[in-house]
Amino acid sequence: MFEMISKCCDTKARCGILELPHGRVETPVFMPVGTVGAIKALTQEDMENLGTQILLGNTYHLFLRPGMEVIKHFGGLHNFIKWPHPILTDSGGFQIFSLSKLNKMKEEGAFFQSHIDGQRFCLTPELAVEIQEILGADIHMVLDQCIGYPAEQQAAEIAMERSLRWAKRCRVAKKKEHLNQFGIVQGGMYENLRQRSCEGLVDIGFEGYAIGGLSVGEPKGEMLAMIDVSCEKLPLEKPRYLMGVGTPLDIIEAVSRGIDMFDCVMPTRNGRNGTLFTSRGKVNIKNLKYRLDDSSLDSECPCYTCRTFSKAYLRHLFMSRELVSHRLLSLHNVTYYLGLLTKIRENIQNGTFKHLLEHHRKLWGSSES
């Protein structure tokens, strides 16, 4: 499934190939988030044109709407959304955290009340696997319990141990051998708990491993420390996925620590809110200084938005609340993220990754703070 093809001699950064049922993926890779089977404000044609290798969907949301009857009718998520390339699906574990007011935790699973129609159901590890196999995701995640920050060690340990028990149940429930299942490391900001989680997951044995429970409000230093601890315990020959992270600097720092896969809503969410990532740092298109600015958003960006429109026009669209501004700004941000990962892969293979890392530390060190 995973073959490492190049690595950086100065850091732990590496390039690899993921062979998946719906195609080959070059790593490190960024996965745009299509929670309900669509990237907000963008189309599948856009994603094809941008060279997107793999999309992310969500078990909880797709289970509620359109529902498994619809997905089964179309023979899986790929055919339903007309995306012929790989898809990874999250198990719904993050919704246990983000929708905590709508669920109650028990050993059996998470008892939810739907945020759509009030329907009550229990998301168990077994059901999470069943849904994801119906979706036909090339990679699907085990059900886990994510906790917020800060968290007492006892609470983090309870959630980590439950996540391990659920991971075992997910592995037993897995029926489709050609699909890949990833375990998820938990343990809050506690080194010993992260180590125990990694060891337990490796003992179970998965096709890859994800690091969860980060980017939940903790300081950057603690996040990076937990990535280091986890990567030290995870097998080199398996892919590593950092869930829900993050900013451009977060991504390149994580790559330098041995991470292969990323997802985050930031490119599209920030685009819809008027914040753009560029080769010169962040741009807030709402700023009055762009009212008469006839320059492009980013002269180094090849996207349609940057090739065609001025900052002044983009600001006008955004301030006028024109829906097309969501599309144009999201298109740019996704292009930036995918381009960043392409540069990362090229620099690892060329032996210049350390220089790229230092450049981005200088570029984003102040603008992300």
* pLDDT tens for each residue of 96-154: 888 888 889 999 999 999 988 988 999 999 999 999 999 999 999 999 999 999 999 99
- Is the Cβ–Cβ distance between 246 and 266 less than 8 Å? yes
> Which DSSP category does 63 fall into?
H
Q: What is the predicted pLDDT for the residue at 318?
A: 98
Q: What is the predicted pLDDT for the residue at 366?
A: 59
Nearest to 143 by CA among 163, 158, 171, 160: 163
Region of 215 please: left (phi>0), alpha (psi -120 to 50) or beta.
left
Q: What is the predicted pLDDT for the residue at 153?
A: 98
C-alpha distances (whole Å) from 326 to each of 35, 70, 152, 221 are 17, 29, 40, 33
Q: Pick out the chain residues at pLDDT < 50.
A: 368-369
Domains, in order of start, for the chain: 2-264 (3.20.20.105), 279-353 (no CATH)
The residues assigned a catalytic role are 90, 263
**Which residues fall within 8 angstroms of residue 293, CB to CB, at 6 or more apart?**
310, 311, 312, 315
Angle among Cα 40, 41, 47 to the nearest 5 degrees reads 85
